[in-house]
């Protein structure tokens, strides 16, 4: 919990940067 992405993060799967993500809570 409380994870933050670095501003230069790029998702290796979808190639989107950190600014394209919102913090979401994942329920398993």
CA 12 to CA 17: how far, in whole Å? 10
| Statement: the pTM of the whole predicted model exceeds 0.75 | no
pLDDT at 2: 59
Query: What are the extents of the domains in the chain?
Result: 1-28
pLDDT in tens, the chain (28 residues): 557 778 788 888 888 888 887 766 778 7
pLDDT at 22: 72
pLDDT at 27: 80
The string over 1-28, giving b where at least 16 C-beta atoms fall within 10 Å of a residue's C-beta and e elsewhere, is eeeeeeeeeeeeeeeeeeeeeeeeeeee
């Amino acid at each position: 919990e409380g994870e933050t992405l670095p501003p230069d993060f790029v998702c290796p799967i979808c190639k989107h940067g950190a600014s394209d993500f919102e913090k979401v809570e994942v329920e398993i």
